[in-house]
Amino acid sequence: MDKLKKICKTNRQLIIFILLMSVFRSAVADWYTVPTGSMQPTIKEGDRIVVDKMAYDLRLPFTQISLLTTGEPERGEIVVFESQAATKRLIKRVIGLPGDTVGLNNEVLSINGKPLGYSLVTSDRRELIATENLNGLIHSIRIETGASDQLSSFDTLTVPEGHYLVMGDNRRNSADSRVYGFIPRDELKGKATRVAFSLDYEDYYLPREDRFFTDLYLN
């Protein structure tokens, strides 16, 4: 016991620093490693994404207990959430808010009866890149032309209260609300804001120089 006290006293500053950093990462901000390409082209595999954990709730550190609601997700925001249906942490874009009616017809989204606007950026035999105007927030989406179109359409549905409809930007290669259903509000961990840095898995895990501190919401 005396030995433990001595260690704590000797390393007091380090212990306090580690404790404060743990609290910060638990309740204020953290980063999330993206292991898949479901959000391409916006987010690449190997990106380390900064997550604002106070965007929607102030939580008791190390718990899911919300002490104060600080905001609500808006259409187009990229959220990180702990999906009970998928049994893992996911990162997707908010498409439908509570009460919205949302439909998808051959890759074209309609929200509350109005089709979104799209502009083609590039197209080849492998993929199609387009911009999607999500009620004023313009972002890129990817369509893998050789992938199954099973998720390319769904009938119009209404997002229930306290839930959100989310989708990945890589539309034919994303397990999202089309697979797991609506996302409950209490599963949200925070809002993804920018890329801290990115490692290229196909180039010896070297950093991608053009992705340091990249804002995820620049048009």
Any residues with CB less than 8 A from the CB of 78 and at least 6 apart, and which? 39, 42, 43, 91, 92, 93, 94, 191, 192, 216
Cα–Cα distance for residue pair 59/30, rounded to 1 Å: 14
> Coil, strand, or helix at residue 125?
coil
User: Which residue in 44, 53, 92, 191 is the catalytic one?
Assistant: 92
* Residue pair 18/120 in contact by the 8 Å Cβ criterion: no
Strand runs (DSSP E) across 149-187, as ranges?
Answer: 154-158, 163-167, 183-184
CB-side neighbour CA atoms (13 Å) of 178: 27
> Coil, strand, or helix at residue 23?
helix
Instruction: For residue 184, say if its preceding peptide bond is cis, omega within 30 degrees of 0.
Output: no
CA angle 35, 186, 188 (to 5 degrees): 30
148 is a catalytic site residue:
no
92 is a catalytic site residue:
yes
Q: What is the DSSP letter of 28?
A: T
Query: So which residues are the catalytic ones?
Result: 38, 92
